Structure 1
Amino acid sequence: MSALVPADVWTVFDAVRRRGPLVHNLTNYVAMDLSANVLLAAGASPAMVHAREEAAEFAGIADAVVVNIGTLSAPWVESMFDAARVAAERGIPWVLDPVAAGATGYRTKVAADLLALRPTVIRGNASEILALAGASARGKGVDSTDQSSDAIDAAQELARQSGAVVAVTGSVDVVTSIDRTWRVGGGHPLMAKVTAMGCAASAVAGAFAAVHEDPLVATTAALAVFGLAGERAAAEAAGPGSLRWRILDELHTLDEPAVVHGVRVAP
């Protein structure tokens, strides 16, 4: 597919709602609530399973796995590797969210070692993608001081090296694979004032990847829908608090005309 049109975005979103994919999230304490509720609002079925005794087994019954390294601890890291290995071995799509990669040596090594397990999708901000690709980045903890446009070359190189679809999210999202790059508009600056929005976007990408065989199409559609929900929510929100619940409502109520006329995807 050389171009993604809004009708394609709706087709993938509609498949999520019809199939209700089970998304196994190994995510951080801060993101659990929002990620679970965003998945439910979008039509997917979330699970937050971290114990090493069951993480691998649960990954094997999931439709997608999302690994988010936000609040690392050694036992959770072991569970992440177990789940990612099962997903990779069984062809289950899995998403790597390298939260704050580059901030510490331990965090950067964990992200790099997970990268070796061949994620289907990598979603991060510009600083995280630059760090994971081995370039210099100006991250501030989990926040990025780089723009998504600054990381396009790094994202494309990371896609070539890993075989993954790489999504760099920011004011304009950039989604790239080995041979195609698409840009996604939408969203709103107020979304940066709500913690774990990026983590939630990774969870949605997992749900979309579960129902479409092309991870570039799935990831682009996921970010387009999530961005549209954020844009529409911000139009009525008084601040970050109301934005948070309004995004859930928008994901739940978005219909075909709203998606087809509202999403913005371009080469």
Structure 2
Amino acid sequence: MSQTPATLLTMMRAKPPLVQCITNYVAMNIAANVLLAAGASPAMVSDVEEAGEFARIAGALTVNIGTLSPPFVSGMRAAIECAQEAGTPWVLDPVACPATTYRRDVSTELVARKPAIIRANASETLYLAGKDSRGQGVDGRDSVAAAEEGARWLALQTGGVVAVTGAVDFVTDGTRAARVGGGSPFMPMNTALGCSLTGLCGAYAAVAEDSFDATITALAHFAVAGSRAHEGAPGPGSFAVRFLDALHAVTAKALEAETNIQRIEAGLA
């Protein structure tokens, strides 16, 4: 039986999971603040000397390739290997994966390690699924709808969940699928909010029985907070402050009442 977003939010806050975040330099501060506001416990541990050991005690691991370097990749490999040995779920954020040869090689390697969840924009998803994409750098130029078929294929190949995020998010494990609406047009104007959402996917994966339910809940929590923060925000700067407050203020009851989740029957758009 599926666990509802309200149930998972209550579980996460009752016993905040430790989430190991290997993420980019731009995202570290906001990702940590997002996790703390939502109710989880972040740890930015990436060096190879300790990343693997730490992954054994974390509730979840998230890996973001935003600022790649050989030391970062070494830490990712060590952490992923130890997380998988410990049965710990890990989440991949393949930032700008088509942009350079190095990114293409690293993202292909990490996808082959079968993450529990891939959280990506439409252009990144299309690339990982072997499709043509119009992405430019970190900017996704493709629609979520254009990436849905590729997301299903990618989920079946990895055995995990793929979340394609945009104005309306799409989530699938290759068989089940859902769309999650809400949020704010100010969200793409705030650096690293998408990277932070990857961290929140990890937090919910740490407490959920099913990565599909965890991913839907993370997206719904983000979307409800974004919709609330948008009210009265004159621009992206004030929105950023309101968003952290809204993440913290969302209750299980509010999440149940305000989520916009459309479940999709297998094989149907």
Bin of the TM-score, shorter chain as denominator length: over 0.9
Q: Does 1:227 align with 2:220?
A: no
Partners of 1:12 and 1:254 in 2: how far apart? Answer: 13
Aligned runs of 1:92-131 on 2, under 5 Å?
92-131=88-127
Q: Which amino acid aligns with 2:160?
A: A
Q: CA deviation at 1:236?
A: 2.3
Match of 2:164 among 146, 162, 168: 168
For the Cα contact (< 8 Å) 1:166–1:175, is it kept in 2? Answer: yes
How far is the alpha carbon of 1:189 from its aligned partner?
A: 1.1
Q: Is the 8 A contact 2:63 2:92 kept in 1?
A: yes
TM-score (norm 1): 0.96
1:200 paired to 2:196? yes
For the residues of structure 1 that align with 2:160 and 2:170, how far apart are their CA atoms? 14
Superposed, 1:1-267 pairs within 5 Å as: 1=1, 8-267=4-263
Deviation at 1:145, TM superposition (A): 0.6
SS of residue in 1 equivalent to 2:234: coil
Q: Distance in 2 between matches of 1:86 and 1:133?
A: 26
**Alpha-carbon offset, residue 244 of structure 1:** 1.1
Listed as ranges, the gaps of 5+ residues in structure 2 are 264-269
- Contact 1:88/1:117 (CA < 8 Å) preserved in 2? no
For 2:179, the aligned partner's letter is R
Distance in 2 (CA, whole Å) between partners of 1:150 and 1:222 is 22
Preserved contact between residue 88 and residue 119 of structure 1 (Cα < 8 Å): no
The Cα of 1:259 is off from its aligned counterpart by 1.2
Distance in 2 of aligned mates of 1:83 and 1:207:
16
Q: 2:171·2:179 contact (CA, 8 Å) conserved in 1?
A: yes
Residue 35 of structure 1 deviates from its aligned partner by 0.5
Aligned mates of 1:242, 1:85 — CA distance in 2: 40
Q: CA deviation at 1:248?
A: 0.8
Deviations 1:177-232 (A, max 9, x none): 03100110111111010010110110000000000010000000110111110111
Q: How many residues align?
A: 263
User: In the alignment, residue 201 of structure 2 is paired with which amino acid?
Assistant: A
CA contact (8 A) 1:172 1:184 kept: yes
Please list every run of at least 4 consecutive aligned residues from structure 1 whose deviation after the TM superposition is greater than 3 angstroms.
Answer: none
Quote the Cα distance in structure 1 between the aligned partners of 2:251 and 2:58. Answer: 26
What secondary structure, in the 3-state scheme, does the structure 1 residue paired with 2:243 have? helix
Two-structure CA RMSD over aligned residues (Å): 1.1
* Cα-to-partner distance string for 1:129-187 (whole Å, 9 max, x where unaligned): 11111111110111101011110010000001111100000011000003100110111
Give the whole-Å Cα distance in 2 for the aligned partners of 1:10 and 1:98.
28
Offset of 1:21 from its aligned partner? 0.1
1:215-256, CA deviations, whole angstroms, 9 ceiling, x for partnerless residues? 000000110111110111011212111111111101111123
